[in-house]
Structure 1
């Protein structure tokens, strides 16, 4: 029960945030907007969300192939759904879910844990590359048509600048000083492992040499991916197509409510809203809807009730669908691992 407490608290926080949003915008207005939704268009939203999962699942397959741990296309898609599930139910989104995602990937690909961690870390990093390009291009179009840059658009500009500058800088510094980072991680994990070893009976903590070997395996895998330019190009192409699918899903959510908008507006809102995924809520839920609705109102002029309703429909397809599909896959892999251990 204790290990589930952060998730339970996180979902409780999500309900509080979403409840506050609905109350602020107006529950009656939101229900009225949702009641007008075109069901055939909503079905298209779900179909496009499935396409997004397939595209980003193929990006994962491409990276695993590059690492010498090939899996079938359908397996990669299902495992990616399970990885998204772990992100969506873990506070702090990807930062909290990646260790679990790495375990699921290593089980499905029958490879070492550090290879699975390198794969999901590489895929998640690759996703930022096209997102920055889409966000910069969309912001250019939106800003060109705006009479003045309001506070929300200035926030979007700041978020894009953070992505465009902060992420590459952090990646460069992390790789430039990887050996120093490795030494620091080994020291920290050794201390933690020894403490756990004194508390947990009949458990022998790994030696510093074993920890160093595993961390070196992670960096070796990262280096192998970085050296495979063809795989990087193909994976980035799948990622870019997935971002476009997400944009289409949000655009269709607005269209279903009778509010067609400029496509540049949704392609600005989605990457910026993803930054809110770092919030201490499962998958950033609640925070992402808030940013999406705020930016849609600022860039399209749609009523706030329509913007929030569209955000809820969009997240219903792109947040809850992976939870339903990925949860089943994660449970299967967990049961398979338990059977193998037994």
Structure 2
């Protein structure tokens, strides 16, 4: 899941704006960009250093993989494969295409970039965006689709604690830490739902936010950069484009999001069963959702170290023996992080064989658009 959330990124599993995509596609390096990237690398390095003992413990369990149940390990891989299929099906829905090849190869390549670089969300999204537009997708459609997809993924992740309420109310033993996590998740989901309804149905909040951001930006950069105008209208146009992306197929998006998260959670459950552990699924779901929310923080490439540390500790709180938790997290990360990461280069090479080298274009909707070709044909 955590790989999912980040690869959309990530994207598995964060919303990336057109401006950040354009910035990632820009070739010239300035001293400000160098300082920014150095800061990101420094933060990632410090985070990995702090989490290094837990990461070493997880990776050190590698020789014990041979002790896993082959049947449950196969189930684990199959569940993650289905989760990825739901992920790409959701992108196909957002991009309004029947084709799979460009969507899958662009998604895997972008995910590999995201999971290889500190703060690599914008760079990964830029690669995915360039591959999609080179394959024939309209730039505005691609940006709106990726943004919509990211928002749906975040909303689905925040909604997971809702499904643990029946077990908690029924008296299933749950640590206080996980109960507080569930309450925070519920509060976050409620806020996200209210925010989404307001933004999608009313114009004035988004327009007011755009005007306020525009005034602040122009005041801060006065005399150094040309003033920005029409930000409120651009935000409303992007919001309308997001609504058009899904149209009447919103229910399919919900089902695919549920399938993506559900089968990824099933991968984790199968990993636990492969170690011989048999914890309460509802309690594991709390640990899963909490670790997923923590993994949204783009501090390390693909959440490396963060996911291992948080998920292992939360599984122990869920009643899983520490040795089983470490081994299960390693197996789960192989399926959700390492294998998709390794698939990125072959996917890119297959894409290059069919479409040639991706061409980086501006991500601003309505700029550099081009008529769709066969792969991007609307259904």
Query: After TM superposition, is the score higher than 0.5?
Result: yes
Please list every run of 5 or more consecutive structure 2 residues that lacks an aligned counterpart in the other structure: 1-28, 362-367, 369-379
Please identify runs of 4+ aligned residues in structure 1 that moved more than 6 A. Answer: 25-28, 188-197
For 1:162-201, list aligned pairs within 5 A: 162-172=187-197, 174-175=199-200, 176=202, 177-184=205-212
For 1:126-145, list aligned pairs within 5 A: 126-142=152-168, 144-145=170-171
Give me the TM-score of the superposition, normalised by structure 1.
0.75
Greater RCO, 1 or 2 (C-alpha within 8 Å, sep 6+): 2
Question: How far off is 1:240 after superposition?
Answer: 0.8
Question: How far off is 1:140 after superposition?
Answer: 3.0
Distance (whole Å) between structure 2 residues aligned to residue 195 and residue 107 of structure 1: 37
Give the corresponding residue for 1:122: 148
Give me the TM-score of the superposition, normalised by structure 2.
0.69
| 1:89-134 deviation digits (Å, cap 9, x = unpaired) | 454676885566545544445211x432221221122234444444
Distance (whole Å) between structure 2 residues aligned to residue 43 and residue 58 of structure 1: 22
Structure 1 SS opposite 2:276: coil
Structure 2 SS opposite 1:278: coil
Structure 2 SS opposite 1:335: coil
Please list every run of 5 or more consecutive structure 1 residues that lacks an aligned counterpart in the other structure: 198-204
Indicate conservation of the 8 Å contact 1:270/1:292, yes or no: yes
Match of 1:286 among 305, 319, 341: 305
Distance (whole Å) between structure 2 residues aligned to residue 57 and residue 194 of structure 1: 43
Give the corresponding residue for 1:201: none
Q: Are positions 1:110 and 2:137 aligned together?
A: yes
Structure 2 SS opposite 1:336: coil
Indicate conservation of the 8 Å contact 1:131/1:240, yes or no: no
Give the total of aligned pairs.
Answer: 322
Distance (whole Å) between structure 2 residues aligned to residue 296 and residue 143 of structure 1: 20
Indicate conservation of the 8 Å contact 1:254/1:310, yes or no: yes
Give the corresponding residue for 2:284: 266
Instruction: Return closer, same or farther for 1:52/1:194 CA change in 2, 3 Å cut-off.
Output: farther
Instruction: Return closer, same or farther for 1:49/1:307 CA change in 2, 3 Å cut-off.
Output: same
Aligned residues: CA RMSD: 3.9
Match of 1:153 among 170, 173, 178: 178
Instruction: Return closer, same or farther for 1:324/1:214 CA change in 2, 3 Å cut-off.
Output: farther
Indicate conservation of the 8 Å contact 2:102/2:135, yes or no: yes
Give the corresponding residue for 2:45: 12
Distance (whole Å) between structure 1 residues aligned to residue 267 and residue 316 of structure 2: 17
Give the corresponding residue for 1:255: 273
Distance (whole Å) between structure 2 residues aligned to residue 286 and residue 106 of structure 1: 33
